[in-house]
Amino acid sequence: MSSKLAERIIDTYRSRPTVAVLMSLGGTNTEKILADEEIRDLYNISAIVTDTVTSRAEEIASRHGLEYILAQTGRFNSREERVSYFDALSAQLGSIGVGALFYAGFMRIAAGSIIERFPGVNSHPADLTVTDPSGIALYRGMHAIDLMRAGSGTIGASVHAVDHMVDTGETFVHSLPQVVDSGLTERECHNLIKPVEHQMYPLTLRMLGNGILRIADMPYTYDPASDALYTNSGDKA
């Protein structure tokens, strides 16, 4: 991905945009974002969107006084169906003044106009800075945490730009790898990396909102053991 999308996200996020949070499941990342007073000051978070009635989105939205949007859908049988779904959601979000998106455990691959219209950032439970020779991240997709553990014996996390492919947007911040036992289940690995995501995602949003995240320093590296952040040159941020 060129830095143009990252530049657009940086420009948009530092201008206190109206934001919708997209989630599908339990909403732990959403809860962490909404509990952060600095983030609530930096962004006008107005709505929570979910694709399923079984998520906690309605409960969380009600508790925080936010608009609840149920954009329910089943399995997409074609790319056209997926684009149509996201184009309709894009129109709905535009009608309520949304200007940016936080993807927080939203289990749909974005497509169509929503990507260009609303700059988005996502938290991903694997290290997207590990790439193949062509530069494509090795640990992408729904089972990325298992791919990373199998490939390196470690787990990690990333916060990245949302683009038109799966987990290929530029990485803003990634965590130091954490060595794990090979016998752990995928769920156990997720439970280990969630606290890292819960620290790193709000940290990235605060940096973007304050206008202090620099493309030249990306990807930043987050050390969860010391809660420290480093630039790509190794300097403390």
155 sits in which H/E element: strand 154-155
Look at residue 188 and tell me if it is in a domain: yes
For the packed helices 186-210 and 3-13, what is the interaxial angle rounded to 10 degrees? 70
For the packed helices 28-35 and 57-64, what is the interaxial angle rounded to 10 degrees? 10
Answer yes or no: is pLDDT of 113 > 80.
yes
Q: Which residue has the tokens 């949304």?
A: 98
Look at residue 27 and tell me if it is in a domain: yes
pLDDT in tens, 219-235: 999 999 999 999 999 99
Over residues 78-96, mean pLDDT: 95
What pLDDT shows up at residue 183? 87
Look at residue 160 and tell me if it is in a domain: yes
Q: Which residue has the tokens 């952040």?
A: 229
What pLDDT shows up at residue 119? 97
Cα distance between residue 152 and residue 201, in whole Å: 23
| Mean pLDDT computed over every residue of the chain | 95
Look at residue 53 and tell me if it is in a domain: yes
90 sits in which H/E element: helix 79-95
Name the least confident of 7-21, 26-40, 133-147: 133-147
59 sits in which H/E element: helix 57-64
Domain CATH code at residue 105: 3.40.50.170
Look at residue 237 and tell me if it is in a domain: no
State which residues form the domain around 70.
3-230
Q: Which amino acid is at 196?
A: V
Over residues 38-60, mean pLDDT: 97
Structural tokens at position 172: 């803003």
Cα distance between residue 159 and residue 191, in whole Å: 17
Look at residue 158 and tell me if it is in a domain: yes
Answer yes or no: is pLDDT of 211 > 90.
yes
pLDDT in tens, 69-80: 999 888 898 999
Q: How many domains does the chain fold into?
A: 1
Over residues 22-48, mean pLDDT: 97
Cα distance between residue 183 and residue 157, in whole Å: 20
Look at residue 236 and tell me if it is in a domain: no
Residue 1 — pLDDT band, cuts 50, 70, 90? very low
Q: Which residue has the tokens 């206190």?
A: 16
What pLDDT shows up at residue 74? 81
Q: Which residue has the tokens 């201008």?
A: 15
Look at residue 80 and tell me if it is in a domain: yes
